[in-house]
Copies of this chain bind each other. A is one copy, B any other.
Amino acid sequence: MSKTIPVVEKILSANDELSEVNRSRFDAARVFAMNFMASPGAGKTSVIEQTLKRLGDDLRLGVIEGDIATTIDAERVQEAGAMAVQINTGGNCHLEAYMIRDALSQLSLDELDMLVVENVGNLVCPANFKLGTHKNVLIASVPEGDDKPYKYPGMYRGVDVLILNKTDLLPYIKFNMDYFREGVEILNPGLTTFPVSCHTGEGFDAWIAWLREQAEAMRSQS
């Protein structure tokens, strides 16, 4: 008599499994959650600060800050008015889903409409770890150079939104916008892109409008 061997059809890695648990928590609380990834110094924290300034009181933004060391970023966004939690990875080059789960115990999701997870500054490793957020947002910056999509394809391929920061520096830097956009288009056709400057505020209206749409869609889900 043959015995049926059980086949487990969908095997998730421990990280993927935890990321799904995180996602369920965001969904249940109707919090629109984003994972901000970028090179060190591309301006993740500055974009969050500028976003907080422009959001009305009707949209409450929480922030989970991931850094190897210090609480510099959490202090900055707290000063800008966000509920903030700092994760220090103690050397780890990226965030993982379990770190977000642990950070969530320090945040009241019920008091939030949106959440930004600010990943460790790194254009490579964070792309490989789902956190459970609804959207992966890459923040590129003009001084990094126009060749970054070509050199970090894994990151550019895996994101849902691209913010190109520091456009105010375009007059002072050799940056070929067509070459940059072409590289993005090859890897991620039609990627939603927001060129912005935290210095002049240019481009933030479009980004804020997009955020409002996402939060509204989340709220109105039955």
Interface centre among A120, A121, A154, A169 (most CB of B within 10 A): A121
Tell me if A30 counts as interface (CB < 8 A to partner B). no
CB atoms of A150 and B70 under 8 A apart: yes
- Within the assembled complex, what's the spacing in Å between the Cα atoms of A121 and B154? 14
CB atoms of A152 and B40 under 8 A apart: yes
Taking CB atoms and an 8 Å cut-off, the chain A residues in 103-144 that contact chain B are 120-125, 141, 143-144
> Contacting A67 at CB < 8 Å: which of B70, B73, B145, B151?
B151
- Within the assembled complex, what's the spacing in Å between the Cα atoms of A39 and B40? 6
Query: Is the contact region of chain A dominated by helix, strand, or loop, or is it mixed?
Result: loop
Identical subunits present: 2
Tell me if A93 counts as interface (CB < 8 A to partner B). yes
Tell me if A23 counts as interface (CB < 8 A to partner B). no
> Contacting A172 at CB < 8 Å: which of B69, B144, B169?
B169
Given contacts A41-B145, A143-B143, contact A68 B168 (CB under 8 A): no
A72 contact set on B, CB distance < 8 A: 147, 150-151
Given contacts A68-B154, A143-B41, A168-B172, contact A123 B125 (CB under 8 A): no
Contact residues of A with B, CB < 8 Å?
A: 39-41, 67-70, 72-73, 91, 93, 120-125, 141, 143-145, 147-148, 150-154, 166, 168-169, 172-173
The 6 residue pairs across chains A and B that have the minimum distance between CB atoms = A41-B144, A93-B124, A143-B143, A41-B145, A39-B40, A40-B123
